[in-house]
Amino acid sequence: MKRLFVYGTLRRGGSNDIGRLVPEAKRLSVARVRGTLYDLGAYPALVISAAAGWVAGEVYAVPDAGWPRLDALEGVADDRHPDGEYFRVVASVELQDGSTAECEIYVANPAVLRLDRPIASGDWLVHAAGAGGRPG
């Protein structure tokens, strides 16, 4: 199983809660990564940057069978779909206990997405709730 860092609608309680989409996924930790989170309306996008603030999220262990469902939901860009909204990359995240882990992360495809509304808190669920919308 590979680890996945989720920061938006896939978080527990989000509109695409990973527990509903991939019930076999196991929550491992609350976590965070350096980057900037952007509001795209119904969901966020992440740009990873060591020079940026923290983005809140969670880490899950995802079985191989779950990845096609997740990639389809996220609209992953690849050779067959170059206009996808996200890329899946591997990056280091900080876990709740202060240790780090290499995780898969869906990051923004800046050639496709309009990244002009940064989320100052770095927390999609807090931002969505504060905007009067349903979290995630």
Q: Which DSSP symbol is given to 13? A: T
| Strand 86-95 with 26-39, pairing | antiparallel
Alpha carbon distance 24, 110 (integer Å): 31
105 touches 34 (CB < 8 A): no
pLDDT tens-place string over residues 3-30: 999 999 999 999 999 999 999 999 999 9
Band (pLDDT 50/70/90 cuts) for residue 81 is confident
pTM: 0.93
User: Taking 50 as the threshold, does the pLDDT of residue 91 lie above it?
Assistant: yes
Dump pLDDT digits (tens) for 34-69: 999 999 999 999 999 999 999 999 999 999 999 999
**Residues 89, 23: Cα–Cα separation, whole Å:** 22
Superfamily of domain 2-130: Gamma-glutamyl cyclotransferase-like (3.10.490.10)
